[in-house]
Structure 1
Amino acid sequence: MNENMHDVVVIGGGAAGLSAGLVLARARRRITILDGGAPRNAPAAHMHGFLSRDGMPPAALLEAGRAELAGYGVEPITARVDEVAREDGPEPAFTVRLTGGASLRARRILVATGLRDELPDLPGLRERWGKDVLHCPYCHGYEVRDRPIGVLATGPMAVHQTLLVRQWSSDVVLFGQGREISPEDRERLAARGVTIREGQVKRVVADDDGLRGVELADGRVVDRGALFVQSTMIPNDGLLTGLGCAREDGLVRTDGKGRTAVPGVSAAGNVVNPHAQVIMAAAEGSAAAMALNADLVEGDVQRAVRHDRVTGRRATEFGGAVEAMIAEAVLGDRRHGL
């Protein structure tokens, strides 16, 4: 095997990528982890729902993961990947080209590049994102419990999100933003005590102490202590689609073990599962790494079998030639009466 060839290059150093790297390092695989250094959850002060890590700052989790990997001789490299190209040959092989001109070669690729959130264009909203302007009730609902909460109707799941949020507060307002709300949904919301504000939201009102409310187009301010927003989640899957990975319903399709439609290319975490929380992304990275290692083991076995067949045949051919030479020499001696 070419000593410059990695077993796996992991692209993305978040929970999915680091978890995959840990499994592969423990499997004694030669790997490199490339991290662009812009995690999606960087604005959040804490993460939740991760057993044994509840309340930990996201950056602290990544630091702990990198420290664990260092114990196995793996240190993630901060780098941006411009392109991953397939190499010609009977087995999967790839060239990973980095910004700045450097490149790596790998037998397998694992993409764990996450996603980015596109937010509504409202003054004041982005500045509070991840603090008291939030997207996931399971991630942040408990921290804003019993506050007056608003939900901005920015997507088709607005009613569903509002009814979820109602679990954490009895004072919930849905800002309709002109979206049509069916009579059935209005009845369901009313039954749970949710107020609907029909007018357009003009801006998010906040000061140094946090969110204060939501200003409507007519100038009225509705006091709120937290606001939930359904962002538009855009997977960072350009490397995968550039390799020809098939998509389905807007996402790159994978099997239950992270394999894409392109042999040798796997993906895990938010890049293929936008709704995965940190603990789920880490689990997906681990599962993808185990599948990758199993694929590599099978490739190693097949290569060893081919080697033995070739070297065995050559040995047989060589042995046969020697036997023929000896027989000819004996026959010649007999002809000469020796």
Structure 2
Amino acid sequence: MTERLKDAYDVVVVGGGAAGLNGALMLARSRRSVVVVDAGSPRNAPAEGVHGLLARDGMPPAELLERGRAEVRRYGGHVVAGTVTEAVRDDGGFTVGLAGGRTVRARRLLVTTGLVDELPDVPGLAERWGRDVVHCPYCHGWEVRDQAIGVLSSGPMSVHQALLFRQLSDDVVFFAHTAPRPGGEQAEQLAARGVRVVEGEVAGLEVADDRLVGVRLAGGAVVARDALAVASRMTARGGFLAGLGLRPVEHPTGAGEHIPADTVGRTDVPGVWVAGNVTDLSAQVGAAAAAGAMAGAQINADLVAEEARDAVAARREPFSAESEARVCEAVLGDRRHGL
């Protein structure tokens, strides 16, 4: 994936997932010099396939990304392996620093670094993440349909998550874990939909023949389950933007942290756009790619407007200088002739 990194580009895209590659594709097709700097740690790497993406449903994530890189390169864009460690403003743009000491200048930045899923501290969750420990019913629900599904209470969206998985199976158990037992309307909803609530801390998972077979409680009891849904806390990968005064903030849902932006990905820092999970915690691959395309188009439009302003200023300046020279010459000529 590594290509020679030039000193400067119109746009540096930080992050080579669906959002970053689609943004770079739009920019490269607009004849912009663009480089995608990718750290190589996609969030969906553990998954067997990408789902809910029209005409690409079930495609392995690595294959989708490789196709995307090839498309960006087809139009002259660059894709390089590297980890961005900082970004600072300089005259007319930004300087982006990479691990290892390399730097590259950019007129604009598109940040598509995604997020990190922070899982509850339960042994075994991380090892089975993306397999039979899942989070999104739209990404993984069909694959666990009609199975015995558990939902681990891990945040403000856990009851909602249980109701979503109930659409896919008649056998859903809600593990309260370390949270209080749901009450009020939430308890009524779970009961009405036949979702049993199990109280008590979850101590670990039971695995046999490399598949989940149950959820073990702290008291030793094991509840047989084929799959476990967990709502992770999602945190944007945006620490390298601190030098620009741009930092992740708490998402309104309480599900994690994101970098706020307007509907086209423009942040509060002029010249910096974001797209995908770094700003939209719930975006699936298709939505992230669409957001990247929108941000890429908006960045190109922003550069076009800047170049038009510069061209008008340059066009006016010579005429102003020539006019001034003609006036001076005329005045001097009049003086030479005693007028």
If the length of structure 1 is used for normalisation, what is the TM-score?
0.92
SS in 2 for 1:147: coil
Q: Give the match for residue 235 of structure 1.
A: 236
CA-based RMSD of the aligned residues comes to 1.9
Following the alignment from structure 2 to structure 1, what is the Cα–Cα distance between the partners of residues 314 and 271?
A: 22
Letter of the 1:231 counterpart:
S
**Pairwise CA distance, 1:327:** 5.8
Matched, 1:202 2:203: yes
Following the alignment from structure 2 to structure 1, what is the Cα–Cα distance between the partners of residues 46 and 7?
A: 38
Following the alignment from structure 1 to structure 2, what is the Cα–Cα distance between the partners of residues 242 and 281?
A: 25
Please give the per-residue CA displacement for 1:128-150, whole angstroms capped at 9, x wherever unaligned: 11001001011100110000100
**Pairwise CA distance, 1:320:** 3.4
Following the alignment from structure 2 to structure 1, what is the Cα–Cα distance between the partners of residues 185 and 269?
A: 45
Matched, 1:77 2:84: no
Q: Give the match for residue 296 of structure 1.
A: 303
**Pairwise CA distance, 1:209:** 3.7
Q: Give the match for residue 122 of structure 1.
A: 122
Q: Give the match for residue 3 of structure 2.
A: none
Residue ranges of structure 1 left out of the alignment (5+ in a row): 333-338
Please give the per-residue CA displacement for 1:81-131, whole angstroms capped at 9, x wherever unaligned: 11100114xxx4111111111111111111110001111121222111100
Q: Per the alignment, do residues 178 and 120 of structure 1 end up closer, same or farther by CA in structure 2, a change over 3 Å counting?
A: closer
**Pairwise CA distance, 1:189:** 1.0
SS in 2 for 1:176: strand
Following the alignment from structure 2 to structure 1, what is the Cα–Cα distance between the partners of residues 174 and 281?
A: 24
Please give the per-residue CA displacement for 1:264-309, whole angstroms capped at 9, x wherever unaligned: 1111111111111111110111111111111101100111111112
Please give the per-residue CA displacement for 1:246-274, whole angstroms capped at 9, x wherever unaligned: 64644322111111111111111111111
Which is higher, the Rg of structure 1 or of structure 2? 1
Matched, 1:47 2:54: no
SS in 2 for 1:109: strand
Letter of the 1:122 counterpart:
V
**Pairwise CA distance, 1:238:** 1.2
Comparing 127-136 and 74-83, the one that deviates more: 74-83
SS in 1 for 2:292: helix
**How do 1:12-161 residues align onto structure 2 when only pairs under 5 Å count?**
12-88=15-91, 92-161=92-161
Matched, 1:186 2:187: yes
If the length of structure 2 is used for normalisation, what is the TM-score?
0.92
SS in 1 for 2:150: strand
4+ runs deviating over 6 angstroms:
none
Residue ranges of structure 2 left out of the alignment (5+ in a row): 1-5, 252-256
Give 1:257's match in structure 2, choosing from 260, 264, 268.
Answer: 264
Q: Give the match for residue 336 of structure 1.
A: none
Letter of the 2:309 counterpart:
Q
Matched residues, number: 327
Indicate if the aligned counterparts of 2:234 and 2:281 stay in contact, CA closer than 8 A.
Answer: yes
SS in 2 for 1:76: strand
Give 2:313's match in structure 1, choosing from 306, 315, 318.
Answer: 306
Please give the per-residue CA displacement for 1:27-51, whole angstroms capped at 9, x wherever unaligned: 1111111001111111111110011
Following the alignment from structure 1 to structure 2, what is the Cα–Cα distance between the partners of residues 241 and 267?
A: 14
Following the alignment from structure 1 to structure 2, what is the Cα–Cα distance between the partners of residues 68 and 251?
A: 29
Letter of the 2:75 counterpart:
Y
Please give the per-residue CA displacement for 1:212-235, whole angstroms capped at 9, x wherever unaligned: 111112212111111000111111
Q: Per the alignment, do residues 21 and 96 of structure 1 end up closer, same or farther by CA in structure 2, a change over 3 Å counting?
A: same
Letter of the 2:172 counterpart:
V
**Pairwise CA distance, 1:75:** 2.8
SS in 2 for 1:131: coil
**Pairwise CA distance, 1:179:** 1.8
Q: Give the match for residue 214 of structure 2.
A: 213
SS in 1 for 2:28: helix
**Pairwise CA distance, 1:326:** 5.9
SS in 1 for 2:177: coil
Indicate if the aligned counterparts of 1:111 and 1:240 stay in contact, CA closer than 8 A.
Answer: no
Q: Give the match for residue 8 of structure 1.
A: 11
Following the alignment from structure 1 to structure 2, what is the Cα–Cα distance between the partners of residues 324 and 116?
A: 71
Letter of the 1:263 counterpart:
P
Letter of the 1:170 counterpart:
D
**Pairwise CA distance, 1:322:** 4.4
Indicate if the aligned counterparts of 1:13 and 1:112 stay in contact, CA closer than 8 A.
Answer: yes
Following the alignment from structure 1 to structure 2, what is the Cα–Cα distance between the partners of residues 178 and 122?
A: 11
Letter of the 2:186 counterpart:
D
**How do 1:267-282 residues align onto structure 2 when only pairs under 5 Å count?**
267-282=274-289
